[in-house]
Structure 1
Amino acid sequence: MRAQEVPASVLVGVGSWVPPRRVANEELAERLGRSPEWMYQRSGIRSRHVVEPGTSSGDLAVEAGREALVRSAVGQVAAVVVATTSPDRPCPGTAPSVASRLGMAGATALDVQAVCAGFVYGLAVAQGLIAAGTADSVLVVGTDSLSLSVAPDDPTSMLFGDGAGAVVLRSGHCEEPGALGPCVLGSDGGGRDLITVRGGGSEERSRPGGAPADRYLRLEGQEVFWRAVQHMTSASREALDAARWKPQDVDRIVAHQANARILAMLAERLGVDAERALSNVEQIGNTSAASIPILLDHADRAGDLRPGHRVLLTAFGGGLTWGSTTLVWPDFLSPDQSPHQLSSERRYVRPFGEDLD
């Protein structure tokens, strides 16, 4: 097959879901020994949503996937890719269950584990499935419930919220609005201890005797900050080059929502006006693999992502892993045309601290 005949992956639907329970900084202040304003100044986060007992990452994924499928008008897809670092079980993967619960038993279904870069990695997997002819349509979901994985007394726990976001991709042409550009991916396993859960895997089980390894998520914040800026900047530049775009051509940056200061520095290093870097981190927090698709959905619903906008996606996460891609935002079924009643909070902020609602 010649390169020009390889089908493109075209985004035709987006949806998201965050759990109803909202936890403000004030609720965490006594436990963490930090003031609400201290938390905000260091992260740009004032609140986050967390799951109630009995709600899993798979539950969130089903809700977000259903929203995306409704807006895509596709109905069913040939494959489901779930990006998560907090799967329902160590075995089996979460994706087959999500596919079955959405009425697509028999579909190709697999999990991707690239932590906060998982959604971009999931897009790349979907691109490969479509390009190879294995699937003509793919549901890609980013879902995480990291509030269940952080130590209650660890100050970095203030960063994390729970949620899921999803997109539907179909086979199409590279010139169509919504067609993904090349996905630029990278990793550095030498930094695996900077964002990690040491316990629960074969590494722990292979060591005879001794105390169990730490089962909580641990984060070396300062080092992660600088590496995130470095790798998202370089991957973004590669993705822009592949799309033959200049930084000034970018209408919107949709980056992993880890920290408001990272987002500001990323825009500055790319030479993109700060107001073009979208953010909902103030109300949503860091939702790991879910952050980019949640933001896509929220920004689309708020009218700040409009058909024709040139969009840069970029993320950085544990592994270490990172990735970027581009697309021109398409025109698809609007939220008010959706037959589903949306019950999750739809708050959106752009830029840092400026409420658009």
Structure 2
Amino acid sequence: MIKAVILGTGSCLPEKTLSNADLERIVETSDEWITSRTGIRNRRVAGRDEQNYQLATKAARRALAVTGIEPEELDLIVVATISPHMIMPSTACFVQAELGAVNAFAYDISAACAGFTYGLDLASNYIRNRPDMKILLIGAETLSARVNWEDRNTCVLFGDGAGAVIVAGSNDGRGVFGSNLRADGKLWNLLYMDSPESYNPDLRRDEWQGPFIRMNGSDIFKHAVRLMEDAVTSLLRQHDLTIDDVDLMIPHQANIRILKNLRERLGIPEERVFVNLSQYGNTSAASIPIALDEAHRQGRMARGDIVLLCTFGGGLTWGSLLMRW
């Protein structure tokens, strides 16, 4: 049976590092406060010539270089993002133009921090129907443009970056073999980012306070741990697996306390969970593909290993995905 296999990975981080010490000069906070509550010590912030699509394109080129695939061979480009370069056209269209991927159709998806996992499931389904497709999937964010730098509860959390994978069909037993994706729109107001103010006065929201990320941290914590645990355990049961069968779990890098609680509730050893949160912060849809690229380049995954992705974000959106590397 043809399955969607990741042939290559790539990532791109902005040059500028914003440390907790730097944030102490911007907002009322401290390194101890941030580290103890989030596990984050640094995050990357985009500068000139590091627009969302530019970070995405660099990550894509690195993934393509691993595979030897030329941009003209790509059939589809999907970018998962909540901080697009423009509302229209899509960031994926900018990437297509930059790469010269003239034969690919392109579009963005918006599922917040769950965007890349949603996108990988989407790519898997495309390949199930068209096994010869070659797909470029990217998670890319410039969240530094979307945070309120006066809100210490959110501005310390988020960072910029991009991660990319090349996905194609294979019948050698490897690839994506299960997913469990969920959403609950009733809880949207626990984590959201408003749009720019409407030019139509009849469509303006009374509660509009600016196009920033807003979050109810304590409620998000409770929902994130419980819902990701359920998404993982139910998916494993569906495939007659246990957490002991998982060689590496790559979770969304949101908060170290969330990751620690999730790991303990699942019963997976720390050495089988990949974490790079301290260096990059929460990069939303870019989080998992950046971690996946680093894990790949560090040799954390061997051919045939079972890799588990799990994620949670605004929407609310969450889920899990299993693949054999």
Q: Hey, what does 1:24 align to over in structure 2? A: 19
**Residue 263 to residue 211, structure 1, CA distance change in 2 (3 Å):** closer
Whether the 8 Å contact between 1:264 and 1:277 is mirrored in structure 2 is: no
> Which residue is 2:96 aligned to?
99
How far does residue 127 in structure 1 lie from its aligned partner after superposition?
1.4
Distance 1:227 1:94 in 2: 30
Return the alpha-carbon distance in structure 2 between the equivalents of residues 205 and 130 of structure 1.
Answer: 45
SS at match of 2:26: helix
Gaps of 5+ in 2: none
2:8 aligned with 1:13, yes or no?
yes
Structure 1 SS opposite 2:233: helix
Task: Give the CA deviation at 1:241.
Answer: 2.6
CA–CA separation in structure 1 for the residues paired with 2:29 and 2:258: 21
Corresponding position: 1:308 with 2:298: no
Amino acid at match of 1:198: D
Q: Is the 8 A contact 2:74 2:103 kept in 1?
A: no
Measure, in 1, the Cα distance between the counterparts of 2:303 and 2:151.
Answer: 42
Distance 1:93 1:204 in 2: 23
Match of 1:248 among 244, 249, 252: 244
| Secondary structure, counterpart of 1:152 in structure 2 | coil
Of residues 281, 304, 326, the one that matches 2:277 is 281
Aligned residue runs from structure 1 range 144-223, under 5 A: 144-155=141-152, 156-173=154-171, 175-177=172-174, 179-200=175-196, 206-207=202-203, 213-223=209-219
Between the two proteins, the alignment pairs up a number of residues equal to 322
1:72 to 67, 71, 89: 67
Q: Structure 2 vs 1, CA of residues 123 and 206 (structure 1 numbering), >3 Å: closer, same or farther?
A: farther
Q: Determine the C-alpha separation between the residues in 1 that align with 2:229 and 2:97.
A: 38
**Alignment root-mean-square deviation, CA:** 2.0
More strand by share: 2
CA distance in 2, matches of 1:130, 1:201: 39
Matched residues, percent identical?
39
1:189–1:210 CA distance, 2 compared to 1 (3 A)? closer
Deviates more, 1:58-67 or 1:103-112: 103-112
**Which of these residues, 11, 31, 36, is aligned with residue 41 of structure 1?**
36
Which of 32, 52, 58 in structure 1 is aligned with 2:53? Answer: 58
User: Could you tell me which residue of structure 1 aligns to residue 134 of structure 2?
Assistant: 137
What SS does structure 2 have at the residue aligned with 1:225? helix
Q: Is the 8 A contact 2:249 2:309 kept in 1?
A: yes
Shift of 1:308: 3.1
Q: Is the 8 A contact 1:204 1:213 kept in 2?
A: no
Instruction: Pick closer, same or farther for the CA change 1:209–1:195 going to 2, 3 Å.
Output: closer
* 1:310 Cα deviation from its structure 2 partner: 1.7
Query: CA–CA distance in 2 between the matches of 1:146 and 1:30?
Result: 20
User: Do the aligned partners of 1:194 and 1:318 also contact (CA within 8 Å) in 2?
Assistant: yes
Instruction: Classify 1:55/1:142 alpha carbon distance in 2 versus 1 (closer, same or farther; 3 Å).
Output: same
Q: Does the CA-based 8 Å contact 1:140-1:167 persist in structure 2? A: yes
Gaps of 5+ in 1: 330-357
Higher mean displacement: 80-89 or 264-273: 264-273
Judge conservation of contact 1:200–1:213 (CA < 8 Å) in 2: no
**Cα–Cα, structure 1 residues 274 and 211, in superposed 2: closer, same or farther, change >3 Å?**
closer
1:183 alignment partner, SS class? strand
Relative to structure 1, the CA distance from residue 208 to residue 320 in structure 2 (aligned partners, 3 Å threshold; closer, same or farther) is: closer
Q: Using structure 1 for the length normalisation, give the TM-score.
A: 0.85
